[in-house]
């Protein structure tokens, strides 16, 4: 067991929309990511996912409403709910997702990452 410094982990990469695994517990990956711009509309058939904002402001667009998250706030997007993360400026997030969750859910495109790097 080793402690994890999220700032140190986030300093190891610059790519946006490319989550990195920083831990694992109870069948869940703990991931960090840098987000900027609009992501693809998608949903996860079998997985809930938690977005916790560490830095910046993130909007999670849902069909019918938007949820804006500031540092220290999180949202659990329930399985099956179509959503689109949007970050006008760079945002740092912590994600909790079941192991094997694909970042683009039901959509396959150039941003799809099937096996995130562990850092």
The CATH number linked to 58 is 2.60.120.10
Residue 38 lies in a domain: yes
Q: Are 57 and 87 in contact (CB under 8 A)?
A: yes
Q: Per-residue pLDDT for 74 more than 90?
A: yes
**84 vs 114, more confident:** 84
Residue 51 lies in a domain: yes
DSSP tag of 64:
T
Domain span at residue 84?
6-98
Range with lowest mean pLDDT among 12-16, 88-92, 109-113:
109-113
Query: Cα–Cα distance between 102 and 99 in angstroms, integer?
Result: 9
Domain count, the chain: 1
**1 vs 57, more confident:** 57
Distances (CA, A) of 84 to 22, 63, 68: 23, 9, 12
Residue 23 lies in a domain: yes
Residue 106 lies in a domain: no
Residue 111 lies in a domain: no
């Amino acid at each position: 067991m080793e402690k994890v410094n999220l700032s140190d982990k986030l300093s190891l990469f610059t790519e946006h929309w490319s989550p990195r695994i920083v831990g694992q517990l109870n069948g869940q990956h703990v991931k960090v990511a840098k987000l900027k711009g609009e992501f693809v509309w998608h949903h996860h058939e079998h997985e809930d996912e938690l977005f916790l904002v560490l830095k910046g402001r993130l909007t999670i667009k849902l069909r019918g409403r938007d949820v804006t998250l500031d540092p220290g706030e999180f949202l659990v997007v329930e399985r099956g709910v179509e959503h689109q993360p949007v970050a006008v400026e760079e945002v740092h997030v912590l994600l909790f997702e079941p192991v094997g969750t694909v970042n683009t859910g039901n959509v396959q495109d150039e941003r799809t990452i099937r096996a995130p790097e562990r850092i």
